[in-house]
């Protein structure tokens, strides 16, 4: 049956026009709605062992409804069309046939008409544009066919047009329904669009020179050109746009909808086996001899097998390479997920569906925590495997009909339609967090990450795709800010925060040039004898309108934008200028500690230059201590190890900042010859005799002493805290109890008065 079908629709040169007309006439004359046609499993379409799992409810419904009434169109080659013998053929029919073998059901065909009554049919086999379709039918969430829009031009020796870019001020015909015109104009506002009703109209205009190009569904137009033997046309290239074909199901048949949804997922969008039967290219039909059966006519021409094989092969290669190009433009090659571009498409489709169903949709923005660290310290091959695995885990947490896309390096996005209640949405978020928290086994190693999720809802939060994505992104940042490994829904206060952040971020670029940064110094006190020979340099931003901006509000922005490198260098060089002033009054052993962001280790050369700078002045390297976080030491790259070694070789000291909040393993710190650990202020501030934090502090101090590492307790605010820490023999203390961070002159005055007491 299949060979027959293939050859049936390849017209020979001489007969194409007349037969085309005849077939059109036959289409018009068959007006009856009901047909006797049944679609059932087709022996020629291989019934692979596809995996499909139905719920008991779906099974029951299918058992009670063995024959599904489906409305099929007549003249949309090769998607679906009717032969003169009243038989429907096309890609949709092949898909239905495959579904019928999967679900063990039959379809009875009914002729599609615009004013279809929803009581007469259960579903529609193919809808091109989901705008303006019948409200009593809902398209499935995923299209089963998706084809690029291609550019067709008049054949010429010197090809002028290859892409939309070449056509940006030309006259282009497009089909009048559907969103393509809008998308083209959005990107190329100077293009003059000519809307056509049928393909022939466009090709006539192309022939007469009234338009420069015709853009439309590649599969459909290739087929049209081949069947009608339009020798003057050539395909100039593809556009980044595509069009989708959906099945639609009557609103009150959710079991049918979900069973079809699962079947299409099992068979696959653009199933290659099915597509291969319908693909043609422009230049092979001359040689293909075919059989045409038209009503009472029987025209028989036989196939030269050698030619046939040769051309089938070249045809296949051509369509494969186009398919590849299209795939590359729409999918992420590492995770095999849709990319940003396709996501945008799907989101728009989902929004249109939401408009009709009146059910909200959710956009989830997922960003992996600590991924950069794994990637930087363990290499890209580990990073890639982790991403692919993470993508799988995320997909497992959502329904098959939701779209999961890779949005950026370690960012994923999910579009979830039909949100019935927020609790089930929260459940999905929680599930994703749990899945990503589980260890990743890669190359016989275990890696740990977590994720931060932001959620925006359509139509509640935003009305266009850009807004929805941006709001989900902002909510994701809120999750990061609140400590990661959690999800947040977008709120109005997140919006004002992020507007503030945006304007700060813009100002930050100029702040260095305008000299708006200042260093504040906070003393670090020797708890045994109250001497002060150390201080921490803490940056402040004196913003022209916002006043003093807290480093917590701009360091992350600087890290994001890459400005942290310049900012970090500025802090170091400013401290290098200030230090001689401090040392002149309070001794040459005075030590300043400087906070170094993990991001700064991405440019080791910058840090290595610090060693050079110190060597040039008359200051001992040991007068600087660099405060780093332990994360950077966990699985350090050789670049990190070498940088630390080089800085150590000029005697620069190292402190571990915020100790106790992370992995808190002291023993491995010894490997790096760490000088100090700073117990995080969250422990110090909860100190009570005999409480958990007291036990922890004491344990850290004891362990550190055994390893020859000195301990600095941060955030000491009360005498009780100080007394407890002294009792544990903590070496140093820092906090408001002694002094707040203050500008250099005030700090010097403080040191002077402290000395006199």
- The entry of Ca ion, ligand C2E, none that residue 497 binds, CB within 5 to 8 Å by partner kind: none
Q: 190-197, long-range: CB within 8 Å, 24+ apart, which pairs?
A: 191/164, 191/167
Instruction: Answer for the pair 248, 357: CB distance below 8 angstroms, yes or no.
Output: no
Among 241, 681, 704, 710, binds ligand C2E (CB under 6 A): 681
Question: Up-side HSE of residue 185: CA atoms within 13 Å toward CB?
Answer: 10
- The entry of ligand C2E, Ca ion, none that residue 552 binds, CB within 5 to 8 Å by partner kind: ligand C2E
Instruction: Answer for the pair 720, 726: CB distance below 8 angstroms, yes or no.
Output: no
- The entry of Ca ion, ligand C2E, none that residue 715 binds, CB within 5 to 8 Å by partner kind: ligand C2E
Q: Which of residues 31-50 bind ligand C2E (CB under 6 A)?
A: none
- The entry of Ca ion, ligand C2E, none that residue 741 binds, CB within 5 to 8 Å by partner kind: ligand C2E
Q: In this chain, which stretch among 106-114, 474-482, 524-532, 550-558 interacts with ligand C2E, using CB under 6 A? A: 550-558
Among 538, 579, 626, 669, binds ligand C2E (CB under 6 A): 538
Report the chain's C-alpha Rg in angstroms: 35
Token representation of residue 355: 């408009």
Of 198, 213, 164, residue with least CA distance to 77? 198
Instruction: Answer for the pair 518, 540: CB distance below 8 angstroms, yes or no.
Output: yes
Q: In this chain, which stretch among 279-287, 291-299, 333-341, 548-556 interacts with ligand C2E, using CB under 6 A? A: 548-556
Nearest residue to ligand C2E, by Cβ distance, number only: 735
The vertex-106 CA angle with 100 and 109, nearest 5°, equals: 110
CB of 658 to ligand C2E, least distance (A): 6
- For residues 561 to 580, the per-residue mask of contacts with ligand C2E, x marking binding by CB under 6 A and - elsewhere, is -------x--x---------
Is 552 among the residues that bind ligand C2E (CB under 6 A)?
Answer: yes
Residue 80 or 376: the one with the smaller Cβ distance to ligand C2E is 376
Token representation of residue 200: 């022939």
CB of 693 to ligand C2E, least distance (A): 15
Residue 161 or 520: the one with the smaller Cβ distance to ligand C2E is 520
Residue 480 or 678: the one with the smaller Cβ distance to Ca ion is 678
CB of 552 to ligand C2E, least distance (A): 5
The residue whose two tokens read 């595509």 is 242
CB of 349 to ligand C2E, least distance (A): 44
- The entry of Ca ion, ligand C2E, none that residue 735 binds, CB within 5 to 8 Å by partner kind: ligand C2E
CB of 255 to ligand C2E, least distance (A): 56
Residue 250 or 600: the one with the smaller Cβ distance to Ca ion is 600
Is 80 among the residues that bind ligand C2E (CB under 6 A)?
Answer: no
Q: In this chain, which stretch among 95-103, 311-319, 466-474, 545-553 interacts with ligand C2E, using CB under 6 A? A: 545-553
CB of 553 to Ca ion, least distance (A): 16
DSSP code, position 405: E
CB of 676 to Ca ion, least distance (A): 11
Q: What is the helix (H) or strand (E) element at residue 217, kind and residue range?
A: strand 213-217
Among 539, 614, 632, 652, binds ligand C2E (CB under 6 A): 539
Among 741, 744, 750, 751, binds ligand C2E (CB under 6 A): 741
- The rounded distance, in Å, linking the Cα atoms of 384 and 386 is 5
CB of 571 to ligand C2E, least distance (A): 4
CB of 679 to Ca ion, least distance (A): 9
CB of 383 to ligand C2E, least distance (A): 24
- The rounded distance, in Å, linking the Cα atoms of 120 and 88 is 18
- The entry of ligand C2E, Ca ion, none that residue 145 binds, CB within 5 to 8 Å by partner kind: none
Of 446, 435, 482, 480, residue with least CA distance to 374? 446
Instruction: Answer for the pair 611, 650: CB distance below 8 angstroms, yes or no.
Output: yes
- The rounded distance, in Å, linking the Cα atoms of 277 and 279 is 6
Among 290, 595, 643, 722, binds ligand C2E (CB under 6 A): 595
Q: Which of residues 493-532 bind ligand C2E (CB under 6 A)?
A: 522
- The entry of Ca ion, ligand C2E, none that residue 653 binds, CB within 5 to 8 Å by partner kind: none
- The rounded distance, in Å, linking the Cα atoms of 256 and 274 is 22
Is 735 among the residues that bind ligand C2E (CB under 6 A)?
Answer: yes
- The rounded distance, in Å, linking the Cα atoms of 486 and 451 is 7
CB of 632 to ligand C2E, least distance (A): 12
Which parts of this chain interact with Ca ion (CB under 5 A)?
A: 595, 627, 657-658
Q: Whole-angstrom distance between the N-terminal and C-terminal Cα of the chain?
A: 103
Q: Which of residues 714-733 bind ligand C2E (CB under 6 A)?
A: 714-717
Residue 271 or 522: the one with the smaller Cβ distance to ligand C2E is 522
- The entry of ligand C2E, Ca ion, none that residue 733 binds, CB within 5 to 8 Å by partner kind: none
Q: What is the helix (H) or strand (E) element at residue 634, kind and residue range?
A: helix 631-634
- The rounded distance, in Å, linking the Cα atoms of 500 and 412 is 25
Among 179, 551, 580, 604, binds ligand C2E (CB under 6 A): 551
The residues, any chain, with a CB within 8 Å of residue 318's CB and separated by 6 or more, are: 281
CB of 462 to Ca ion, least distance (A): 38
17-39 exposure pattern, b = at least 16 Cβ within 10 A, e = fewer: eebbeebeebeeeeeeeebebeb
- The rounded distance, in Å, linking the Cα atoms of 179 and 106 is 34
CB of 633 to ligand C2E, least distance (A): 16
Binding residues for ligand C2E, how many (CB under 6 A)?
23
β-sheet bridge partners, residue 406: 412
- The rounded distance, in Å, linking the Cα atoms of 468 and 351 is 11
- The entry of ligand C2E, Ca ion, none that residue 539 binds, CB within 5 to 8 Å by partner kind: ligand C2E
- The rounded distance, in Å, linking the Cα atoms of 328 and 341 is 11
Is 550 among the residues that bind ligand C2E (CB under 6 A)?
Answer: yes
What φ, ψ does residue 148 adopt, rounded to 5°?
A: -70, 155
Cα dihedral 460, 465, 466, 472, rounded to 10, equals: 50
Residue 394 or 704: the one with the smaller Cβ distance to ligand C2E is 704
What φ, ψ does residue 730 adopt, rounded to 5°?
A: -70, 140
Distances 663 to 624, 630, 660 between C-alpha atoms, Å: 25, 8, 7
Among 212, 376, 401, 658, binds ligand C2E (CB under 6 A): 658
Among 48, 702, 736, 752, binds ligand C2E (CB under 6 A): 736
CB of 466 to Ca ion, least distance (A): 38
DSSP string, 420-484: --HHHHHHHHHHHHHHHHSPEEETTEEE--EEEEEEEEETTT-SSHHHHHHHHHHHHHHHHHTTS
CB of 356 to Ca ion, least distance (A): 53
DSSP string, 653-685: EEEEEEETSS---SHHHHHTT--EEEE-HHHHT
Site residues for ligand C2E per CB under 6 A: 522, 538-539, 550-552, 555, 568, 571, 595, 597, 627, 657-658, 681, 714-717, 734-736, 741
């Amino acid at each position: 049956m299949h060979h027959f079908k293939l050859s049936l629709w390849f017209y020979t040169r001489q007969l194409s026009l007349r037969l085309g007309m005849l077939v059109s006439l036959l289409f018009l004359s068959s007006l009856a709605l009901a047909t006797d046609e049944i679609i059932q499993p087709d022996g020629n379409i291989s019934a692979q062992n596809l995996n499909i799992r139905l719920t008991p409810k779906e099974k029951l419904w299918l058992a009670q409804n063995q024959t599904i009434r489906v409305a099929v169109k007549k003249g949309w080659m090769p998607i679906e069309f009717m032969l003169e013998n009243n038989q429907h053929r096309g890609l949709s029919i092949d898909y239905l046939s495959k579904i019928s073998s999967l679900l063990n059901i039959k379809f009875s065909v009914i002729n599609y008409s615009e004013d279809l009554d929803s009581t007469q049919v259960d579903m529609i086999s193919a809808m091109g544009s989901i705008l303006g379709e019948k409200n009593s039918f809902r398209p499935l969430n995923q299209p089963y066919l998706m084809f690029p829009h291609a550019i067709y031009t008049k054949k010429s020796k010197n090809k002028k047009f290859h892409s939309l870019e070449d056509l940006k001020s030309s006259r282009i015909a497009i089909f009048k329904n559907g969103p393509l015109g809008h998308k083209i104009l959005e990107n190329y506002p100077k293009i003059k669009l000519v809307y056509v009703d049928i393909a022939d109209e466009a090709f006539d205009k192309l022939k007469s020179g009234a338009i420069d190009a015709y853009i439309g569904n590649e599969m459909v137009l290739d087929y049209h050109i081949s069947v009608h033997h339009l020798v003057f046309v050539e395909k100039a290239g593809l556009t980044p746009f595509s069009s989708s074909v959906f099945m639609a199901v009557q609103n009150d048949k959710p079991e049918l909808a979900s069973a079809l949804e699962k079947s299409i997922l099992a068979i696959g969008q653009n199933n290659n086996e099915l597509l291969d039967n319908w693909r043609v290219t422009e230049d092979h039909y001359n040689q293909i001899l075919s059989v045409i059966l038209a009503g009472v006519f029987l025209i028989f021409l036989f196939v030269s097998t050698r030619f046939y094989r040769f051309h089938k092969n070249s045809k296949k290669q051509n369509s494969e390479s186009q398919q590849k190009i299209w795939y590359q433009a729409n999918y992420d090659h590492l995770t095999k997920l849709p990319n940003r571009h396709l996501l945008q498409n799907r989101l728009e489709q989902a929004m249109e569906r939401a408009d009709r169903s009146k059910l909200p949709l959710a956009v989830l923005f997922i960003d992996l925590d600590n991924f950069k660290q794994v990637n930087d310290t363990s290499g890209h091959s580990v990073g890639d495997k982790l991403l692919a695995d993470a993508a799988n885990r995320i997909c497992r947490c959502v329904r098959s009909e939701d779209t999961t896309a890779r949005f950026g390096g370690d960012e994923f996005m999910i579009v979830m339609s039909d949100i019935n209640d927020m609790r089930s949405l929260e459940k999905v978020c929680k599930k994703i967090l749990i899945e990503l928290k589980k260890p990743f086994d890669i190359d016989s190693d275990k890696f740990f990450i977590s994720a931060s999720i932001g959620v925006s809802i359509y139509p509640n939060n935003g009305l266009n795709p850009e807004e929805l994505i941006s709001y989900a992104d902002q909510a994701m940042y809120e999750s990061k800010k609140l400590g990661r490994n959690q999800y947040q829904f977008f709120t109005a206060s997140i919006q004002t925060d992020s507007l503030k952040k945006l304007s700060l971020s813009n100002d930050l670029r100029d702040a260095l040039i305008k000299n708006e940064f200042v260093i504040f110094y906070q003393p670090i006190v020797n708890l045994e004898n109250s001497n002060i020979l150390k201080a921490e340099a803490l940056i402040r931003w004196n913003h022209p309108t916002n006043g003093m901006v807290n480093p917590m509000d701009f360091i992350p922005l600087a890290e994001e934008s890459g400005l942290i490198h310049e900012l970090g260098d500025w802090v170091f060089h400013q401290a290098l200028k200030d230090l001689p002033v401090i040392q002149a009054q309070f001794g040459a052993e005075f030590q300043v500690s400087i906070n170094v962001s993990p991001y700064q280790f991405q440019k080791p050369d910058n840090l290595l230059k610090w060693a050079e700078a110190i060597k040039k002045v008359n200051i001992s390297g040991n007068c600087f201590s660099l405060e780093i976080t332990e994360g950077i030491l966990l699985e350090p790259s050789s670049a990190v190890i070498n940088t630390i070694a080089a800085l150590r070789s000029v005697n620069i000291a190292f402190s571990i900042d915020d100790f106790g909040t992370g992995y808190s393993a002291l023993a491995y710190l010894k490997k790096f010859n760490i000088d100090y650990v700073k117990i995080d202020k969250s422990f110090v501030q909860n100190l009570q005799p005999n409480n958990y934090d007291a036990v922890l502090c004491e344990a850290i101090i004891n362990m550190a002493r055994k390893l020859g590492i000195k301990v600095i307790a941060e955030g000491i605010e009360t005498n009780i805290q100080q007394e407890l820490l002294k009792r544990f023999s903590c070496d140093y203390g820092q906090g408001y109890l002694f002094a707040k961070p203050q500008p250099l002159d005030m700090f010097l005055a403080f040191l002077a008065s402290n000395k006199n007491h």
